[in-house]
């Protein structure tokens, strides 16, 4: 038996140093149609989840914001409007394809001057200590290999009093909803992936990775253990998605 | 607690509707500059919900959560707030609404709502073309004027029938006379009460 450390990639166990590469392959494959698929997968509701996240961030003019796994730049665009010309938004993503799509979209929408881009790994954020007033990671944490390491890295680059927001798929509170959601995720979602991006495997991974992600309470405990205070979470759409929040002491 | 997803969806839809309405009323949109940077909180008791109106970029953004400074807070029921915002009443007396903060923001907002003059014909034209929109708008205007005239006429006839023919309700003049009679009776009773009190206060008054 191999003594190499393993981690999950969806329902599959793989060597820990292979996960980033496998996740990258998934997002290289879906980057071009990521937004379209998000709209189809969530019925457009992901826009309301993200908008609520922006509201809860309480970001103001002049703030510095880090949007990790920012993908196609939905959050960064709104953050850029909130922080104004005096502020700064860093759109970071480990995946070059997603970052390119995000950068093009932001430039097309006129979000320039107060937005910069960084290809960065959430576990090893390449920023000085105490840099950001707010960090947001939307639908990205479940793809990170070592979530504890990533949380510690986020804590380090946040300013004291700064706020972390984690928007992520979670565990529905209602068993009936969970059953319906399972059927949708494992039957319909890969089919839609096949039809739209001709890539059912990537969307099967997305569904599986959601199931392997820690539930609401577990993630809150992980945030506490990483050193965040005033941690809390807000379920949305019956717990299909949860917004976790924490503050750097 | 209400669902954040549902509230956000409703506020997003309202915000889009407002933005669309303002696009067809550039005058009001330009006037919004007076409120630029202000944030008004509508603290609704029925249904229990807070809605923040942020005036920025010549538009209005609606959110359910805000942690910054507020220009003013309006408290009351949703129906009363809508009524107040759409009316030209500048006093809050009898409105069921209370305000804290800068009341001038509310007055400015009411003025803007009063001036709102949306170019529906242009909105229709964008959707279905200029000529069909003009034909439809003209037809709607005529139908609206006719319906309004018929409505006023029907209301007058019904009022006359109820008051004069069926005598089911009091007419306006009869009611006014009735109110006058009550007022006169109350005055007479007051005078009588004062007279009795005066008589009782006389030194030669004896209680038996």
Domain boundaries, chain B: 4-115, 119-169, 170-208
Per-residue b/e over A17-40, b at no fewer than 16 CB within 10 Å?
eebbebbbebbebbbebbbebbeb
Mean pLDDT of chain A: 86
CATH architecture, range B4-115: 2-Layer Sandwich (3.30)
Residue A47 touches partner B, C-beta closer than 8 Å: yes
Cβ-Cβ pairs closer than 8 A, A with B, add up to: 34
In this complex, do B12 and A48 lie within 8 Å of one another by their Cβ atoms?
A: yes
- The more confidently predicted of residues A36 and A210 is A210
Which pLDDT score, from 0 to 100, does residue A216 have? 93
- Give B150 to chain A, closest Cα distance, Å: 45
For residue A232, the chain B residues in CB contact (below 8 A) are none
Which pLDDT score, from 0 to 100, does residue A1 have? 45
Query: How many of the other CB atoms lie within 10 Å of CB of B136?
Result: 15
Which pLDDT score, from 0 to 100, does residue A243 have? 96
Torsion of CA A189, A193, A195, A197, to 10 degrees: 170
For residue B68, the chain A residues in CB contact (below 8 A) are 58, 60
Q: Is A71 exposed, middle or buried (0-12, 13-18, 19+ CB in 10 A)?
A: buried
Strands annotated E in A71-127: 88-93, 115-119
- Give A219 to chain B, closest Cα distance, Å: 20
Q: How far is CA A170 from CA A49, A112, A166, in A?
A: 13, 33, 11
Question: Which tens digit of pLDDT belongs to each residue from B65-81?
Answer: 999 889 989 888 888 88
For residue A237, the chain B residues in CB contact (below 8 A) are 3, 5
Which pLDDT score, from 0 to 100, does residue B186 have? 93
Best A42, A44, A48 member to test B by mutation, with max B CBs in 10 Å, is A48
Residue A60 touches partner B, C-beta closer than 8 Å: yes
Give the predicted TM-score (pTM) of the model. Answer: 0.74
Total residue count of chain B as it appears in this document: 208
- Please state, in angstroms and rounded to a whole number, the distance separating the CA atoms of residues B84 and B94: 10
The DSSP H or E segment spanning A80 is: helix A74-83
In this complex, do B4 and A47 lie within 8 Å of one another by their Cβ atoms?
A: no
Best B5, B49, B58 member to test A by mutation, with max A CBs in 10 Å, is B5
Which pLDDT score, from 0 to 100, does residue A229 have? 97
Query: Which residues neighbour A247 within 8 Å (Cβ) at sequence distance 6 or greater?
Result: A161, A162, A163, A164, A228, A229, A230, A231
Distance between terminal CA atoms of chain A?
44
In this complex, do A49 and B64 lie within 8 Å of one another by their Cβ atoms?
A: no
- Give B67 to chain A, closest Cα distance, Å: 6
Which pLDDT score, from 0 to 100, does residue B175 have? 78
Using pLDDT thresholds of 50, 70 and 90, give the confidence band for residue A138: very high
For residue A58, the chain B residues in CB contact (below 8 A) are 65-68
Question: Which tens digit of pLDDT belongs to each residue from A178-191?
Answer: 888 888 877 777 78
- Nearest-5° angle of CA B190, CA B195, CA B198? 125
For residue A236, the chain B residues in CB contact (below 8 A) are 3-5
Distance of CA A134 to the CA centre of its chain: 14
Task: Report the percentage of chain A scoring pLDDT > 70.
Answer: 90
Say what angle helices A34-42 and A189-197 make with each other, to 10 degrees. 150
- Please state, in angstroms and rounded to a whole number, the distance separating the CA atoms of residues A178 and B48: 29
B67 closest CB neighbour out of A58, A234, A236: A58
Best A46, A47, A49, A52 member to test B by mutation, with max B CBs in 10 Å, is A52
Strands annotated E in chain A: 6-9, 12-15, 64-68, 88-93, 115-119, 132-138, 158-169, 229-236, 241-247
- Nearest-5° angle of CA A13, CA A17, CA A21? 90
Question: Which tens digit of pLDDT belongs to each residue from A50-63?
Answer: 999 999 999 999 99
Q: Domain residue spans in chain A?
A: 27-173+206-247
- Give B94 to chain A, closest Cα distance, Å: 34
For residue A51, the chain B residues in CB contact (below 8 A) are 8, 12
Calculate mean pLDDT across residues B30-46: 87
In this complex, do B5 and A237 lie within 8 Å of one another by their Cβ atoms?
A: yes
- Give B4 to chain A, closest Cα distance, Å: 6
The DSSP H or E segment spanning B41 is: strand B39-44
> Phi and psi dihedrals of B169, rounded to 5?
-130, 160
Q: Which residue is it, tokens 């990483």? A: A226
Q: How far is CA A228 from CA A138, A160, A164, A200, B131, in A?
A: 18, 10, 9, 37, 62
Nearest CA in chain B to A238: B3
Nearest CA to A243 out of A38, A235, A214, A178 is that of: A235
- Please state, in angstroms and rounded to a whole number, the distance separating the CA atoms of residues A162 and A245: 11
- Please check whether residue B85 is in contact with residue B110, taking contact to mean a CB–CB distance below 8 angstroms: yes
In this complex, do B65 and A51 lie within 8 Å of one another by their Cβ atoms?
A: no
- Please state, in angstroms and rounded to a whole number, the distance separating the CA atoms of residues B83 and B42: 13
Using pLDDT thresholds of 50, 70 and 90, give the confidence band for residue A175: confident
- Domain A27-173+206-247 is in which class? alpha beta
Task: Report the percentage of chain A scoring pLDDT > 90.
Answer: 49
pLDDT surpasses 80 at A166:
yes
- Give B16 to chain A, closest Cα distance, Å: 13
CA atoms within a 13 Å half-sphere pointing along the CA-CB vector of A116 = 9
> Which stretch of A89-98, A233-242, B132-141 has the lowest confidence by average pLDDT?
B132-141
- Lookup: tokens for A147: 């979530």
Q: Identify any residues that bridge with B59 across adjacent strands, giving them in sequence order.
A: B56
The DSSP H or E segment spanning B115 is: helix B103-115
DSSP output for B137-197: HHHHHHHHHHHHHHHHHHHHHHHHIIIIIS--S--HHHHHHHHHHHHHHHHHHHHHHHHHH
In this complex, do A55 and B3 lie within 8 Å of one another by their Cβ atoms?
A: no
Using pLDDT thresholds of 50, 70 and 90, give the confidence band for residue B206: low
């Amino acid at each position: 038996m191999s003594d190499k450390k393993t981690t999950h990639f969806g329902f599959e166990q793989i060597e820990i140093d292979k996960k980033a590469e496998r996740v990258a392959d998934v997002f290289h494959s879906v980057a071009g149609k990521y937004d379209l698929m998000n709209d189809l997968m969530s019925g457009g509701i992901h826009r309301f989840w993200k908008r609520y996240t922006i509201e809860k961030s309480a970001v103001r003019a002049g703030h510095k914001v880090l949007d990790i796994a920012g993908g196609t730049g939905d959050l960064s665009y709104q953050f850029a409007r909130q922080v104004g010309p005096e502020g700064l938004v860093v759109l970071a993503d480990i995946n070059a394809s997603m970052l390119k799509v995000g950068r093009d979209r932001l430039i097309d929408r006129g979000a320039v001057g107060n937005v910069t881009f960084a290809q960065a790994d959430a576990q090893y954020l390449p920023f000085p200590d105490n840099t950001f007033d707010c960090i947001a990671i939307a639908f990205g944490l479940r793809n990170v290999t070592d979530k504890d390491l990533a949380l510690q890295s986020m804590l380090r680059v946040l300013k004291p009093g700064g706020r972390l927001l984690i928007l992520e798929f979670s565990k529905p509170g209602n068993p009936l909803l969970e059953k319906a959601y399972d059927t949708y995720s494992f039957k319909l979602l890969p089919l839609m992936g096949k039809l739209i991006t001709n890539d059912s495997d990537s969307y099967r991974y997305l569904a599986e990775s959601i199931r392997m992600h820690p539930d609401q309470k577990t993630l809150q405990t992980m945030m506490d253990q990483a050193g965040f205070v005033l941690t809390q979470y807000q379920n949305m759409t019956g717990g299909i998605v949860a917004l976790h929040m924490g503050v750097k002491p | 607690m209400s669902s954040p997803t549902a509230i956000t969806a409703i506020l997003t839809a309202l915000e889009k509707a407002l933005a669309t309405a303002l696009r067809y009323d550039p005058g009001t949109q330009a006037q919004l500059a007076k409120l630029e940077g202000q944030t008004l909180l509508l603290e609704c008791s029925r249904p229990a919900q807070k809605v923040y109106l942020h005036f920025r970029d010549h538009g209005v953004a609606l959110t359910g959560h805000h942690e910054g400074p507020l220009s003013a807070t309006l408290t009351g029921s949703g129906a009363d707030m809508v009524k107040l915002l759409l009316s030209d009443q500048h006093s809050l007396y009898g409105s069921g609404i209370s305000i804290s903060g800068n009341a001038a923001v509310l007055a400015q907002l009411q003025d803007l709502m009063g001036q709102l003059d949306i170019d529906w014909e242009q909105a229709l034209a964008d959707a279905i073309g200029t000529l069909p929109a003009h034909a439809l708008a003209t037809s709607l205007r005529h139908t609206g004027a006719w319906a309004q005239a018929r409505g006023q006429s029907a209301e007058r006839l019904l009022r006359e029938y109820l008051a004069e023919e069926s005598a089911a309700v009091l007419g306006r003049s009869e009611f006014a006379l009735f109110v006058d009679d009550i007022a006169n009776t109350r005055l007479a009773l007051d005078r009588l009460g004062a007279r009795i009190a005066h008589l009782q206060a006389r030194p030669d008054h004896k209680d038996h």
